């Protein structure tokens, strides 16, 4: 089962991905992590990538695909994978499509009303020390403002303040709308209603994956 998850910030994609990973025994593959990891390990590809990063150039799609292709041949991907952060553009989606070993089965697009997303994101709090995330209503830290994990300060990221959320959502829709059309035309897109809580969204996901 090779999947792509699309959805705006705050829609809950990460949470849904975790559920699918656990139940279907497939990893979530973040291209950002792969690139950082290759650089850290100084693999031949990593060294090339570092060259682009250093000069501030975009890493060519071809290189990203190469590294993705290496990754999905590892054993934990034998049941499939969930792609995270790639593709982001039509050319990337097109080149992905041309690699038979990277062909995806389904693209899940999680939709939620703007008000729902704003409510979720504006209640999000993050530990400034270890990055643990909290939610003021669903998952507050035990002691207000203090991280359960490390005792660090828990606060709101500038990105999660209302003005910034509006901007992120506009940016997201501009970038992703073409991809949604692309996968719709190919009959791969399935829309999942993510307005409700996790226990309302996940049954829809399981239905999609079983069908």
> In this structure, is the dihedral angle defined by the CA atoms of residues 43, 45, 49 and 54, taken in order, positive or negative?
positive
Q: If binding is defined by CB under 5 A, does position 130 make contact with Zn ion?
A: yes
125 is catalytic: no
Q: If binding is defined by CB under 5 A, does position 127 make contact with Zn ion?
A: yes
Q: If binding is defined by CB under 5 A, does position 149 make contact with Zn ion?
A: yes
157 is catalytic: yes
Catalytic residue, from 40, 157, 161, 175: name it: 157
Please write down the long-range contacts of 84-89, taking CB distance under 8 Å and 24 or more positions apart.
Answer: 84/5, 84/17, 84/28, 84/29, 84/30, 84/31, 85/30, 85/31, 85/32, 86/31, 87/4, 87/179, 88/175, 88/176, 88/179, 89/175, 89/178, 89/179
Of residues 94 and 159, the one with the C-beta less far from Zn ion = 159
Q: If binding is defined by CB under 5 A, does position 132 make contact with Zn ion?
A: yes
How much is the CA Rg of the chain, to the nearest whole Å? 18
167 is catalytic: no
The window from 61-69, 102-110, 128-136, 199-207 that contacts Zn ion (CB under 5 A) reads: 128-136
Residues with a known catalytic role: 13, 88, 124, 157, 168
- Residues of this chain that bind Zn ion (CB under 5 A): 127, 129-130, 132, 147, 149-150, 152
């Amino acid at each position: 089962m090779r999947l792509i998850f699309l959805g705006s910030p705050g829609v809950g994609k990460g949470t849904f991905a975790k559920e699918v990973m656990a139940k279907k025994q497939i990893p979530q593959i973040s291209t950002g992590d792969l690139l950082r990891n290759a650089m850290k390990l100084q693999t031949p590809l990593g060294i090339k990538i570092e060259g682009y990063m250093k000069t501030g150039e975009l890493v060519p799609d071809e290189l990203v695909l190469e590294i993705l292709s290496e990754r999905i041949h590892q054993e934990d991907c034998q049941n499939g994978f969930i792609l995270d952060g790639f593709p982001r553009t039509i050319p990337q989606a097109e080149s992905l499509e041309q690699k038979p070993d990277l062909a995806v089965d389904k693209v899940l697009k999680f939709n939620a009303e703007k008000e729902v997303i704003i409510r979720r994101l504006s209640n999000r709090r993050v530990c400034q020390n270890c990055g643990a995330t909290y939610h003021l209503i669903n998952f507050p830290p035990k002691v207000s403002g203090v991280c359960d994990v490390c005792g660090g300060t828990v606060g709101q990221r500038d990105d999660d303040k209302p003005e910034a959320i509006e901007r992120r959502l506009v940016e997201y829709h501009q970038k992703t709308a073409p991809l949604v059309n692309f996968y719709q035309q190919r009959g791969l897109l399935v829309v999942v209603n993510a307005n409700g809580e996790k226990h309302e969204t996940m049954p829809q996901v399981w239905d999609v994956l079983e069908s």
